[in-house]
Amino acid sequence: MALVQRAAPRLPELFGFAKRSLKSLRFPGESLDSSSSPTLAYGIHVFHCPDAVGIVAKLSESIASRGGNILAANVFVPENNHVFYSRSEFIFDPIKWTRSQMDEDFNKLSQIYSAMRSVVLVPDQDPKYKIGILASKQDHCLIDLLHQWQDGKLPVDIACVISNHERGPNTGVFRFLERHGIPYHYLHTTEENKREEEILELVQNTDFLVLARYMQILSGSFLNSYGKDVINIHHGLLPSFKGGKPAKQAFDAGVKLIGATTHFVTPELDSGPIIEQMVTRVSHRDNLQSFVQKSQNLEKLCLSRAIKSYCELRVLPYEDNKTVVF
């Protein structure tokens, strides 16, 4: 099997956090402005292999020998771990360096260094990732993702929105989805029936899923059957408060710092690799309404930033349950 693979939606098996144990994580997704020349294209390459002398030089040579120019490069070599991570952004002439030749060149490097991961992405040539969004009653994360997608700030195609909360035809979300031709599916769930088989049927052609405050636990069976990555957002109220109305619990306790965490969903509840975390301060001047608003704003920003990082190939697996985020 070729180790070099294009980071296109048709290759979701590149990532596979959902169905893998924490011992065998795999990862991803930037999109820069390549307008410096109308003839140039922009590409990204990520590389993960055992550490060795000269890898950076060989990567640079591979790009430069085809007339490409590196715009930015990030390297991480953890101490005493003997592994190498890199993410390179480069511009190139797509006529002089064809995509098939690019794959061949990076594949040679993969073979030389026994790479665990070598992924190429050319945003102007590759289709966008196709995602499914799952949501419950709270709309703030869902609405934010829809607006960012509409404004071209979210580099994905939304295949569908699924919810266990019914939204009528007169609601803003329903009208937005209808106007843009995005299917909306309401699936009433119970403790006995989470409707997972129907969800699987609806999302079978997606590349990853986003839980935009979806208040249902996805089973290990669902994750294994889906076989691709699922990204989740939840509050990170500090100190943590469990159960119903966590924001009110935290407000009543007078906390001074609140947060949000975006992570991959694994069979271990809320234990998947973390992609993004954010915090903000609250004070005695906040009432419950402003407290909740700050928490929700943080969740929106944390989720959208994580999705962009994923799609821009900024996230790589590290050790059993960590991530390198360039």
Q: Which residues are catalytic?
A: 270
Strand order in the sheet with 4-6: 4-6, 117-121, 41-50, 83-92, 69-76
Tokens matching residue 289: 């309404």
CB 170 within 8 A of CB 217: no
Q: Which 8-state DSSP code applies to residue 238? A: B
Q: Which 8-state DSSP code applies to residue 155? A: -
Whole-angstrom distance, CA of residue 138 vs CA of residue 130: 23
CB 12 within 8 A of CB 228: yes
CB 275 within 8 A of CB 263: yes
For residue 185, what are the β-bridge partners?
Answer: 162
